[in-house]
Structure 1
Amino acid sequence: MMNPDFSASRACAQFASSLQYQDIPDQVIDFVKRDLLDWLGCAIGGSASPASRPIKSVSLLLGGVRQAEVIGLSSQNVVTSAACNAYFGHILEMDDVDKESISHPATVVMPAALAVGAWNASSGKDVITSIIAGFEVMLRIGASITPEHYKIFHTTATTGIFGASVAAGKILGLDEKRLLWALGNAGTLSCGLWQFLRDGGMSKFLHTAHAAGQGVYVALLAREGFSGATHILEGEQGFFKGYALKDVNCDKFEDFFKVWRSGNVSFKPYPCCRHTHSAIDAALDLREKLKGRKLKSIKLFSYSTAQQVAGKRSPRDQREAKFSTAYCVASAILRGLPSEKHFSEEALQDKEVRNLENLIKIEIDDDLNKVVPTNWPHRIEAITDDGERLVSQVWSPKGDPENELDWPAVESKFKTLTEGFITTATQEQVIEICRNFENQNSISDLFETINSTFQPSY
């Protein structure tokens, strides 16, 4: 239950307004710089994808003043810039994920911070500080309402707007009162429903675009004196009452400056829903144990949230395949390490993969459920055609903090995601900028470097 004398909303505004670069542990700064490179790879690859065309077309149609750079597009106003880059970063399903809040912070917070930072001529240190402020607020809000909230709402969207508003507001120099207003108006614009997954829609990209763009918008309004709810989280008609779907314990908002959630986010090595990744790792282990033999039976033990989000069977297109644990497992067993080409229309028609997917039986395991969201585990039990029983259990998939991707691994992922879309020389320049981002004097230089050789795939 919430303590009626404690305001989570005000705690967020107090933290964000007072945070200074020197307050942040070195390891958290290093992690966020890695996360920036990771997100840029996702956004460059996403902007090169045909799925980016709708928002590019609409942005050009609406036009307006040019204030901040967009990957693969001419400069746009600061709200549209944040929205476009956020949209691109979520297309490939390769962006970061926080386990406890079940959300993707980079692709909503970073575009907001970078857009306002470029327009405001901010330093690299200022942008890093604003990103971490946004992460810390967003991830606490998300962690306080999951997993019940996540059954209906896409947490990246609903909490991402809070993180984006804080990041933008921090760069704009908003004081505590105005940051509180920005949070209040972020909460009243918060939205994002999962129904699109059932119906095969593209709404997930819009969720991140809305969160980032509108986060910037409410911060700009707050700067101009536009007030908002000052108890948006804990109020009687506020976010927790309407969206949490459970009683909320606000203890998570009392450890700012003590616990740094920004440094505890997971990277995604595979281009599909993070809920499939421990299953994929188990499948890759099983592939090694099979030594080319066939399977007579295969059972996948999963947890409820994974099947709620990634339980699609017999996927009809790329998006459905990326949210199909069974397809991902079958593909990994037969093809090895997942890549973008494994989700192509041609790959989806592979009869051998389809037959193996149909063989997989999925069962919810209560013991696995108990460790979520601390872990997102899967277990595979299979019988080979010669009668051997094989078991593979994965508790922490590759990319989790317990099994993290270091700089070389993130750099390799970045190069893979951007290969053919920017030159090798540009890749190296972007890596160097991210490694030394605290020394960056112009945020615009980052996007100008990317766009100097950017070539889309369509």
Structure 2
Amino acid sequence: MTDTFNRVADFTFGLSPGDLPETTREAAALMFLDTLGITIGATPMEAGRIARGTAAALYGCGEGGFGARMMFDGRRVSVAGAAYAAATATDNLDGHDGYYPTKGHIGVVVIPAIAALAETVPDFSGPEALAVTTLGYELAGRAALSLHATVSDYHTSGAWNALGVAAMAARMRGLSRDQLRQALGIAEFHGPRSQMMREIANPTMLHDGSGWGAMAGMSAAVLAEKGFTGAPAITIEEDRVAPHWEDLGSFWQMEHQYVKPYPICRWAHAPIDAVRQVMLEHGLSHEQIAKIHINTFHESACLYPGIPSTTSQAQYSLGFAVAIQAAYGRIGVEHISGPALADPLVASIHDRITVAEAARHSARFPACRVADVVVTLTDGRVFETGDVHARGGPEAPFSQEDIVQKFMQFAAPSLGEARAGAIRDAVLGFTAEGSKFSDLGRLIYDAPEN
């Protein structure tokens, strides 16, 4: 076994809740809550319904100890099927957290995985839930950095977040160090190395591959538990990637995730925020806008350019999302689905928007997402925003109050204020020593009543 694997194994099995800095525990609770809000908000959406139906049809459980109820559904399937269904639903409402250096998302699989695994093991403490959550973020994030550094094309998050899920399962189910090594190797081998830019060019329900990442990681752990073997994970054990693992346990990626104020691809957020900023600063309404010109980074400029006909296209749009913000001052699920896709007001604003790639913005990606906009009014005045960072990241972080408010905005319409509030309180209560995962578990499996 390599030194890097041993470091990973020590972290996986040796990390105790007391090892986490207070700031890391607090970040873990907030990212748990933020992701859970998106999972709840995504529950009524078509992609989530299809994923749960598919899990019930294909991924049932025939052996005791490996079954789990699907989140906000209640039907029992395999632990891998439950993780797949919730991760797929979450992935299809593009409002979950991410980490700039990974160019992708971690919580989208971590929260579905811990909810599924909790159905297969005895109850555990709230602080342990935060430790396992942090484990998933720290391992998946470093696997992502390792993959990006060693391959030529850009793979979806499922390619690497599978390893985080496998490690979480190994810890929670009590696997051995060798079984962990096998599980990581299997998860990496079968993780979906799908090309992200294909999905950007043709947006669908595939999104960021995270549903299959959850499925691959959970299946890998069960395979290893039963004795299946896999080649060592090169994103952990190859010599070239060793530097990405040297700060494991000293630098906490958990504290550096960004939070998304809109259920739209992060690459569109800086232009959205720039338009929001100029309209708020000058008290503008959409009727006063003659033209909006967006200067942004290459990947952002590649987002879907037209009027979307599906929710998936809407979430990977740029001009359409900016037009929604200009029209309504916010972007909610109701703006990117159903009749809203044919909103004539949004379409009229979209016709006034142009987009160009700016080399200075491209040079700063993926370390940060920056754009600037030039807004020309019908009376001839011109406002230039200068460079604007996307809100919710390290440059413009969200407060706890912001994240809690966002959670309630996404969760309450599906669950009602009372149940959503109880979930909020349970998750934030995980930082307390006497808390239990079951405080939350009793609230997250039954289907919504309305």
TM-score (norm 2): 0.89
Alpha-carbon distance in structure 2 between the residues aligned to 1:352 and 1:126: 49
Do structure 1's residue 29 and structure 2's residue 25 form an aligned pair? yes
Residue in 2 aligned with 1:368? 361
Deviating more after overlay: 75-84 vs 347-356? 347-356
1:59 partner letter: A
Alpha-carbon distance in structure 1 between the residues aligned to 2:446 and 2:112: 19
Deviating more after overlay: 27-36 vs 345-354? 345-354
Counterparts in 2 of 1:295 and 1:44: CA distance versus 1, 3 Å: closer
1:160 partner letter: N
Alpha-carbon distance in structure 2 between the residues aligned to 1:170 and 1:6: 19
Select 1:204's aligned residue among 204, 207, 228. 207
Counterparts in 2 of 1:7 and 1:327: CA distance versus 1, 3 Å: farther
**2:123–2:438 contact (8 Å) kept in structure 1:** no
Note the alpha carbon deviations across 1:283-335, whole angstroms, 9 max, x for none: 11222336236334332111112233x24323222211211111111221222
Select 1:268's aligned residue among 257, 260, 273. 260
**1:28–1:263 contact (8 Å) kept in structure 2:** yes
1:400 deviates by 1.1
Note the alpha carbon deviations across 1:375-418, whole angstroms, 9 max, x for none: 10110012222222211245432211332223322222121112
**1:186–1:215 contact (8 Å) kept in structure 2:** yes
Residue in 2 aligned with 1:303? 297
Residue in 2 aligned with 1:160? 161
Alpha-carbon distance in structure 1 between the residues aligned to 2:356 and 2:79: 47
**RMSD value, Cα:** 2.6
Alpha-carbon distance in structure 1 between the residues aligned to 2:430 and 2:438: 12
Do structure 1's residue 230 and structure 2's residue 224 form an aligned pair? no
Q: What percentage of residue pairs aligned between the two structures are identical?
A: 21
Structure 1: which 5+ residue stretches go unaligned?
A: 241-247
1:102 partner letter: K
Matches within 5 A, 1:59-458: 59-62=55-58, 63-65=60-62, 67-73=67-73, 74-123=75-124, 124-146=126-148, 152-154=154-156, 156-191=157-192, 192-194=194-196, 195-204=198-207, 207-233=209-235, 250-288=242-280, 289=282, 291-292=284-285, 294-308=288-302, 310-438=303-431, 439=433, 443-452=437-446, 454-455=448-449
Do structure 1's residue 15 and structure 2's residue 11 form an aligned pair? yes
Provide the secondary structure at the position in 2 that maps to 1:226: coil
Alpha-carbon distance in structure 1 between the residues aligned to 2:121 and 2:170: 12
1:157 partner letter: G
Counterparts in 2 of 1:249 and 1:72: CA distance versus 1, 3 Å: closer
**1:9–1:230 contact (8 Å) kept in structure 2:** no
Deviating more after overlay: 108-117 vs 273-282? 108-117
Note the alpha carbon deviations across 1:177-229, whole angstroms, 9 max, x for none: 32221111111001133334434431127x22221122122112222332222
Counterparts in 2 of 1:137 and 1:453: CA distance versus 1, 3 Å: closer
1:422 deviates by 1.4
1:95 deviates by 0.9
**1:299–1:381 contact (8 Å) kept in structure 2:** yes
Alpha-carbon distance in structure 2 between the residues aligned to 1:96 and 1:358: 30
Alpha-carbon distance in structure 1 between the residues aligned to 2:123 and 2:301: 43
Provide the secondary structure at the position in 1 that maps to 2:122: coil
**1:421–1:453 contact (8 Å) kept in structure 2:** no
Deviating more after overlay: 64-73 vs 367-376? 64-73
1:344 deviates by 2.9
Alpha-carbon distance in structure 2 between the residues aligned to 1:348 and 1:148: 40
Structure 2: which 5+ residue stretches go unaligned?
A: none
1:15 partner letter: F
Do structure 1's residue 45 and structure 2's residue 48 form an aligned pair? no
Provide the secondary structure at the position in 2 that maps to 1:399: coil
Counterparts in 2 of 1:231 and 1:273: CA distance versus 1, 3 Å: closer
**1:93–1:271 contact (8 Å) kept in structure 2:** yes
TM-score (norm 1): 0.88
Alpha-carbon distance in structure 2 between the residues aligned to 1:149 and 1:277: 27
**1:8–1:233 contact (8 Å) kept in structure 2:** no
Counterparts in 2 of 1:452 and 1:164: CA distance versus 1, 3 Å: closer
Alpha-carbon distance in structure 2 between the residues aligned to 1:323 and 1:148: 27
Deviating more after overlay: 283-292 vs 258-267? 283-292
Counterparts in 2 of 1:130 and 1:7: CA distance versus 1, 3 Å: same
1:151 deviates by 5.3
Alpha-carbon distance in structure 2 between the residues aligned to 1:299 and 1:175: 56
**1:70–1:447 contact (8 Å) kept in structure 2:** no
**2:72–2:446 contact (8 Å) kept in structure 1:** no
Alpha-carbon distance in structure 1 between the residues aligned to 2:166 and 2:128: 15
Residue in 2 aligned with 1:243? none
Alpha-carbon distance in structure 1 between the residues aligned to 2:376 and 2:90: 40
Note the alpha carbon deviations across 1:411-454, whole angstroms, 9 max, x for none: 22121112232132212211111011254765355243234571
**1:279–1:394 contact (8 Å) kept in structure 2:** no
Q: How many residues align?
A: 439
